[in-house]
Structure 1
Amino acid sequence: MAMHPINPATGLPMTSDDYGGFDVGGSPYGTDVHSQHHPWSASYPTWDSGGWNSF
């Protein structure tokens, strides 16, 4: 059974047996391309039942 390296930035396994390439989430080794995207804490105005909320 092959052991795949783990991307330290995401904790996800790499798609190949070496440290080059991408992890299973699409991030290059040592980076997390999704770290700036947090849908649960929007930095833009959102709508709820009371109207527009600005952060």
Structure 2
Amino acid sequence: MRGDRPLYERDPAARQAYLAEGNARQPRKRVGADVLIRNPRDEILLVNPRYKPD
């Protein structure tokens, strides 16, 4: 299935073109946030975003 691997692995040039197009339409200011979420048992939620390589 073609969608198994993220776009940045399948076609780096297509990913760069996609990002450039999206960035041209975005506001210039960007905001990032770090959050630590714990449940009552003191377990931590971990998220692995597959839409970016880092």
Normalising by the smaller structure, the TM-score range is under 0.3
Higher relative contact order (CA 8 A, sep 6+): 2
Q: TM-score, normalised by structure 2?
A: 0.22
Q: TM-score, normalised by structure 1?
A: 0.22
Compare the two structures and name the one with the higher helix fraction.
2
Larger-gyration structure (1/2):
1
